[in-house]
Amino acid sequence: MRVISGVSKGRKLKAVPGIHTRPTTDKVKEAIFSRIGPYFSGGTVLDLFAGTGALGIEAISRGMDRGIFIDINPKSIEVIKGNISAVGQTGQAEVYRNDAKRALKVCAKRKLKFDLVFLDPPYKLEMTEDILQQMDSLSLFQNGAIVVVEHDAVHTYNSHIGKLKNDRRLVYGDTAVTVYDYDSE
């Protein structure tokens, strides 16, 4: 794994040891950023179920001002912190070990709003729609925010979740990416 583009281009990222984390492949990552970017002029990214932090790190490398990285796995947190340090983004990143739903409540208390959100929960959890509805009800999205959900290709999400509208679904083998746009109107 590596950072594909931006100021940290080419820097290598470490994976979480074991078989419980599915790192996003470079091919899928490039396809995601070709669709949503490829570059940004500021903003805040949330990498929920961050795993290695690769998607949030890529977004910061491509111009996001800062990132919030959340995962419940202690090994993932260690890897995320190491990867952020390795690419020189320590001053732009906050890393938290927490349950996703509890972490979102903390983000709401801090009045955080996100321009870009990556959700890549373990496929078996099937909680993505609940999380997106929670984020909408907690007002965690900036108007015009983009939400990228990575999931099992056999699953299809609703075209609308709260104020999120499905913009596109991309399939890469057994992995699918569903992209939503947020419109507060």
The predicted model scores a pTM of 0.94
**Mean pLDDT, range 130-158, rounded to an integer:** 94
Homologous superfamily of 26-155+164-182: Vaccinia Virus protein VP39 (3.40.50.150)
What is the domain partition of the chain in residue ranges? Answer: 26-155+164-182
Q: Is the peptide bond before 17 cis (omega within 30 degrees of 0)?
A: no
Concatenated DSSP letters for 5-19?
SSTTTT-B-PPPSSS
Reported as a single tens digit per residue, the pLDDT across 6-32 is 999 999 999 998 756 667 778 888 889
